[in-house]
Copies of this chain bind each other. A is one copy, B any other.
């Protein structure tokens, strides 16, 4: 198009009633005309005065447009001679190298076609990588994060937000600039001290404050350990069943998973597992996730000794261990380790609120510097203000009193749920893993499709998770449902369970629907 046509073309497209300012519209339209080749390279633009008159807009607006076009390389201005469209067409020689992609149908002239305004083909989901597709296909994350019976979510409505807010306001009043910048590796030192004091007593871990590395949670802790201690293609033992999130993190770092069965004493490797020592073993000894059994002392000692002899790193995920009903919390595996081979990981999210994103790991002493460098290098952590608030929260005693209060509350809810299950099903459906944590497992008969039950329950308004989602195998050893009782108020547990029970009766037990009481 020549420059007279340009004026008409612009005039036809400028919308003086639009929210977008005329300057932006003019700029955008001229860029578009150049990119599509409607204004080919070498075209002389009308003078700013002429274009302004043609369009009936301020000459300054056109000058600004021309300046920006010049700055961005769309046009070249030569003093005295005028303004010309620059040649910014893609370098065809560079684009058309010998290797042709297998999937594209664009021919050798594709570049020019595109430059002339034809729509290039959209990419689609086939473009995910193999690991990306596996991650998405196997994703365990739920769209809902709250309500009966969402597992693993504490009752955030009970969090003493007022106390937190007060501590937070006090710290922000000073706003120490040192706390606004990146975190040095390892996190806020007073928090590390407070946590090591807490964990030594509560979890019998064996560590100095230096060994504590603050992270954003279990995911980041595992990710860091995996990237520092394993290589692509290394094998890792995971419990079968285990937490889906840990599986995703390991796999997306190129680890080959070896699911190892668990029995009533915890991890129980088979002969074939033992014959091929992995590089890493991820275990939940205090409270197997999701089934709830405790790893026996003999198994712990065997695992530690096996790991020592075969150079296996152990990640101990001490998930949910603060909430134990009736029995005292058991000591950590880390506390038994005298070979510096256990990496202990935990999180404050379940104790306070998940959105907090404060976790911690205990690095073996000789790896402390390495882990600190790693966490800073890979994630560039910050959030020191929040870590300072957390420190005050612990030091003022709010953490222990909140956990104590929640343990009593969750204990009540657990009992209400167990009573509801027993009242409805008697011994027909077993309850597992109710001694600790924020959920229990309601066992289903072997023929049951727990994924189908979950979907039907969801449609009826109740969230549960199928045990199958925690197994790597397509043929899980057990069928069941994870029922979280922590984020449901006492009075809602019964009605929600009634709804779930009806779904189970209809889909699994094939009973006639019973009428609600």
Q: What are some 30 contacts across the A-B interface (CB < 8 A)? A: A31-B331, A67-B328, A72-B331, A73-B298, A88-B296, A95-B305, A99-B277, A101-B309, A101-B311, A110-B305, A114-B305, A122-B339, A123-B339, A125-B370, A129-B234, A129-B279, A132-B229, A141-B373, A153-B182, A159-B175, A159-B180, A165-B169, A168-B168, A168-B169, A181-B354, A182-B355, A245-B377, A248-B377, A349-B382, A355-B384
CB neighbours (8 Å) of A231 from chain B are 129-131
Cβ–Cβ contact A91 & B302, under 8 A:
yes
Interface membership of A276, Cβ < 8 A = yes
Expressed in whole angstroms, the Cα–Cα distance for A309 and B92 within the complex equals 11
A308 contact from B120, B139, B168, B218, Cβ within 8 A: B120
A377-407 vs B: 1/0 string, CB under 8 Å? 1111111111000000000000000000000
In-complex Cβ contact of A338 among B119, B353, B364, B366 (8 A):
B119
Name the B residues within 8 Å of A297 (CB-CB): 72-74, 86, 88
Tell me the minimal C-beta distance from A54 to chain B in angstroms. Answer: 25
- Whether A145 and B181, one on each chain, are in contact in the complex, defined by CB atoms closer than 8 angstroms, is yes
Contact code string A235-261 (vs B, CB < 8 Å = 1, else 0):
000000000010011001110000000
Interface flags, A155-170, vs B, CB<8A=1, else 0: 0110101101100110
**Contact (Cβ within 8 A) A232 B254:** yes
Shortest A410–chain B CB gap in Å is: 16
- Contact bitstring A74-115, B, C-beta under 8 A = 1, else 0: 100000000000111111001111110101101000110011
CB distance from A12 to the nearest CB of B (A): 22
| Smallest Cβ-Cβ distance to A330: which chain B residue | B72
Minimum C-beta distance from A332 to chain B (A): 11
Contact with B along A329-343 (1 / 0, CB 8 A): 011000010111100
Find residues 291-346 in chain A having any chain B CB closer than 8 Å to their own CB.
Answer: 296-298, 300-302, 304-306, 308-311, 313, 327-328, 330-331, 336, 338-341
A161 CA to B120 CA in the complex, in Å?
A: 47
A124 within 8 A of partner (CB): yes
Contact between chains at A245 and B97 (CB < 8 Å) = no
Determine the chain B residues whose CB is within 8 A of the CB of A232 once the complex forms: 131, 232, 254
Set of chain B residues within 8 Å of A475, measured between Cβ atoms: none
Within 8 A of B (CB), among A179-225: 179-185, 216-220
**What residues of B have a CB within 8 angstroms of the CB of A339 in the complex?**
120-123
Q: How many copies does the complex hold?
A: 2
Q: Does A177 contact B (CB under 8 A)?
A: yes
* Contact (Cβ within 8 A) A276 B310: no
Q: Which of A74, A129, A168, A231 has the most CB of B within 10 A?
A: A129
Q: Which residues of B contact A13 (CB under 8 A)?
A: none
